[in-house]
Each structure stands twice: as structure tokens, then as C-alpha cells.
Amino acid sequence: MALAFDEFGRPFIILREQDQKTRLRGIDAQKANIAAGKAVARILRSSLGPKGMDKMLQGPDGDVTITNDGATILEQMDVDNQIAKLMVELSRSQDYEIGDGTTGVVVMAGALLEQAERQLDRGIHPIRIAEGYEMASRVAVEHLERISQKFEFDVNNYEPLVQTCMTTLSSKIVNRCKRSLAEIAVKAVLAVADLERKDVNLDLIKIEGKVGGNLEDTELIYGILVDKDMSHPQMPKQIEDAHIAILTCPFEPPKPKTKHKVDIDTVEKFETLRKQEQQYFDEMVQKCKDVGATLVICQWGFDDEANHLLMHRNLPAVRWVGGVELELIAIATGGRIVPRFQELTSEKLGKAGMVREKSFGTTKERMLYIEHCANSKAVTIFIRGGNKMMIEETKRSIHDALCVARNLIRNKSIVYGGGAAEIACSLAVDAAADKYPGVEQYAIRAFAEALDSVPMALAENSGLQPIETLSAVKSQQLKENIPFYGIDCNDVGTNDMREQNVFETLIGKQQQILLATQVVKMILKIDDVISNSEY
């Protein structure tokens, strides 16, 4: 208890304002934490795999999100429990690092916690369990490395990449046209990839969505799409061979940053000021014109007068373009962002083969396509779909697919999906357990059992008999010593994941196991929870 007595029997206070805090200690704390972690994992469990269900989330403002993506579900779930927050964090870090497998990592952690609880009941000390998990995870990661396969592809033969992306997309609502979306994702990644350095800057891939049309209309644009239109309704809607001036200064009279006042006290001053003002606009437009720009893209707004002058001098312009988009345009067109009119030179102009405005549907929404850029390193994926939620979900799915493709370019190793890798690891860990003397052995076995829970959940979600299927696959793997057998989620009739073309990236899997183990270790080490009670 939070109350202690000194040698004279007088109580003294260790925890301030103890009546306002709640406190859980020892085994109770661990049990409570494990229960919370398991509860979160249980929510996600049914979303795992190609036949996983979606969750509908209603946000604080009544907005609705329907998704299957673990990271998104947890992020929007609005959890209050500390341990549950840790799980949310866990899936988020998987999302940042790998981008895919966000559901799997939470399910894995949940299973580890469940096993840990059983070991705790046996009287094994939590630290020993944690250590055992640590050892087991090392074994599993090494084993993954061993069973992984290099897989070959290059820019011309990207079929294997498409297959892998399709595995990722098959668990999402977009699986109706996963083939075309996977191709789009792979082409996009290849377009921006630096194959020499084996790196992909995903910032160069912009994902835009617009409600309307079908999912099939989703397209990849080798260029930039800006959700803006020309500043003046009568400017040309199509510019070929555009030279683009990218400006971050407004077409307005300059505003010096220092405080100042211009006092007008005579008619002459008034007149000169007026002249000056007109001159400003004239000069600005002339400058752009002089360097040979045929399109002006500006981060800020235009004055009405400047707008007309631009139009008048036949210089189309786009205003209020966001900073990120501006940067992308600069990268794509090979131009430089110019902060001042004085610094505008013809070398700093970006070049694009075609700039055009396109309108959609019956509403007056228009978008600006910038295509055939000098430097085609920036691409845009333009998503169409039946409704807003569909588009948001497609965006998330494409993001996952992009991450997978990127990971493959970084590291060409793959393991087989459909639970095959987990089952193989589970076998390896189980075998390794016997070599460890001491209590950790039990923890290691528990780890092996926890690994089984991912294929188990897959089987469950696919409507198969979980225990039967799992044991059948496990014995098959052991008998033939081939780590490619997994759960046949799509009811194709074969357990061989090579034939089904279900891959996952090696680093993704490894990361899942490592992250889940880490979090579980952290949770197991907590033996005291002090929280402010609400009132």
C-alpha cells in the first residue's frame, strides 16, 4: 500500500494525494495490462488476412471511416487506456517503418501477451518470460533470414513486384481491381526509384483522390496533378511545351517586413504613389514574360489588376498552390522555386510538355494536369471511386502497396505469406527451445505457440476450421521440410504459397516479430500502475 510507517509507528505518505490516485501493483498490474493489450488485439484479429472484415469508425465529429488497415483503426479508435495506447503506438511504428503488416503486428503482440499470462499463472517471473521471448525472437528472425528467398526483378520485368503488391491489396476492399492497382503502385515506385542506391523517396509519389467515377478509372499520371484551376476563367486551358515560373511571392505590392508607414500629405505624393503601384504590377508581369515563362504557378494570391495583366499578356497563371505541391512541381519540372521577382531567370524555369485543365462530372470541379515533365521523377496516382470513404480507403491501400514495393527495392528478400513464415518460425523456435536450460525454455515454447496464432486467425477469418487446418499445414511443413506451406485463404485448393504467389517482404516480417516482442517485454516489466482517478 501507499502508506508506510516509520519506526515510531507514525504513518507517512509516499504517494501524494493518494485518495485521488488508483494504484495497481505486482501481479495484478501485469494481469490488468495484459487484459488491456489483449482487448485491443481482439478488435483487430478479425481484420487480418484477405477475408478479414472491416471496421466502421465514427469520429468525434460524426465523420465515418470504414477501413481494414490496422494502423488507421487504432489511430482513430480514441483509446484511453495506457497499455492500449502502447499497442496503438506499436502499430504506428510498424506503419512508419514498413507501411504494411500493421494488423499482424498487433495480433502477434496480443498472442504473446496471452501466452505470457499463462506462464505467469505457472509462477514464472515476468522478467524470465521477457528474456525467453527475447531469445525466441532472435531465433525466429534468424530462421526467417534462412528461409527467405532472393527474388529477382528489374525495371523491365516487374511482374514479381506486382504479385507481391497484390498480396497486400487482396486484404483490402479494393481487391476487386487489385491487379490494376498493384500495377499502378509498382509503376509509380519504379518511376521514382533510385535503383543504384536502392532507395525510393515516397514523397515523390502524390496520391490524389476525387469522388466520382469508378475504381477502374484510377490512373497513374507521369507528372503532377494539382487541385487548382487557372486564376482567370478565360486563360487558355491547355499549354503545350510550358515554361513554368514557380513563385513564392505574391503578385501584390511588396510588404516590407519592418514596420513602416508611408504618409501621404500632398497631392504629388499621392500621384507618385499611384504611379508606383501600377508600375509594380507591370514590372512583375513583365519580368515573368521577359524570362520566357509561359505559365506562372504561385503560392500566393493575385491582385485583381495583376490577374488581368497576366491574362492580358497571355501568361496563364495558377494561384494558391500549396507548399508541398509547389515543391513537387519544382522537382518534376526541374525548375527552381523563386522567392523574388528580381531573381527570376530563364534557367530557373521548369519545363513540362503539357499542362491542361480537366473538369469532372456535373459539378464545376477542375484539376490541373502537369505532364511530360522534364524530370519525370514525380508521379501522381489519381484515385476515383464511388464515395469519399472508398477513396480514403483506397488511398490507404495504395500507400501500403507502395511501401511494400519500396521495401522490396531496398531489400530483395521475401518470405512466403499466408502464415507460412509464422508456421516455419514456430517450428524452428519450438525445436530451439529444448536447447535452453532453465525457466526460459517455457517462455520460448510459449513464443512458438504465440506465432501459431497468426495463421490461426487467418484460417478463422477465412471460414476454415482453425485447429484442423493449422495442424495439417504444420505437419506438412515438418514432413517435407519445405517452409512454403501456408493457409489457403482464398480456397484455391493448394497450400503451396509459391503457387499462389503470396509473398511478404522479409524486413516486414522481421520487423513485426521484433516490434511485437519489444512491446510485450515492455508491458511485462511493468509492475506498478499509478494513475490519476478521474475525479
Catalytic residues: 69, 102-103, 400
Rounded Cα–Cα distance for residues 206 and 226 (Å): 10
The count of chain residues that interact with another protein, using the rule CB under 8 A, is 84
Q: Which 214-233 residues touch another protein, going by CB under 8 A?
A: 214-215, 232-233
Check residue 118 for interaction with another protein (CB under 8 A). Answer: no
Return left, alpha or beta for 211; rule: phi > 0 is left, psi -120 to 50 is alpha, else beta: beta
Whose Cβ is closer to another protein: residue 7's or residue 491's? 491
Q: Read off the C-alpha cell for 318.
A: 495558377
Cα separations in angstroms, 309 against 104, 200, 316, 478: 58, 42, 10, 78
**Cβ partners under 8 Å of residue 47, min gap 6:** 53, 54, 55, 68, 70, 73, 103
Whose Cβ is closer to another protein: residue 335's or residue 418's? 418
Rounded Cα–Cα distance for residues 293 and 28 (Å): 71
What minimum distance in Å lies between the beta carbon of 463 and another protein? Answer: 6
Among 17, 61, 152, 347, binds another protein (CB under 8 A): 61
How much is the CA Rg of the chain, to the nearest whole Å?
Answer: 30
Q: Which 282-321 residues touch another protein, going by CB under 8 A?
A: 303-305, 307-309, 311-312
Segment near another protein (CB under 8 A), from 45-53, 125-133, 218-226, 447-455? 45-53
Among 62, 123, 437, 493, binds another protein (CB under 8 A): 62
The SS3 of residue 352 is strand
Check residue 359 for interaction with another protein (CB under 8 A). Answer: yes
Q: Which 231-270 residues touch another protein, going by CB under 8 A?
A: 232-234, 252-256, 259-267, 270
Q: Which 395-434 residues touch another protein, going by CB under 8 A?
A: none
The SS3 of residue 226 is strand
What minimum distance in Å lies between the beta carbon of 177 and another protein? Answer: 11
Check residue 40 for interaction with another protein (CB under 8 A). Answer: yes
Q: Which 69-88 residues touch another protein, going by CB under 8 A?
A: 73, 76-81, 84
Cell 487467418 sits on residue:
458
Segment near another protein (CB under 8 A), from 39-47, 119-127, 464-472, 492-500? 39-47
**Cβ partners under 8 Å of residue 108, min gap 6:** 450, 451, 453, 454, 512, 513, 516
Among 2, 14, 64, 195, binds another protein (CB under 8 A): 64
Q: Read off the C-alpha cell for 167.
A: 498480396
Q: Which 15-34 residues touch another protein, going by CB under 8 A?
A: 28, 31-32
Q: What is the DSSP string of 82-118?
A: HHHHHHHHHHHHHHHHTSS-HHHHHHHHHHHHHHHHH
Nearest to 249 by CA among 294, 296, 291, 295: 296
What minimum distance in Å lies between the beta carbon of 275 and another protein? Answer: 11
Q: Which 463-492 residues touch another protein, going by CB under 8 A?
A: 463
**Cβ partners under 8 Å of residue 10, min gap 6:** none
The conformation of residue 474, written as its DSSP 8-state character, comes to: H
Q: Read off the C-alpha cell for 424.
A: 516455419
Q: Which 137-196 residues touch another protein, going by CB under 8 A?
A: 173, 176
Segment near another protein (CB under 8 A), from 135-143, 357-365, 402-410, 419-427? 357-365
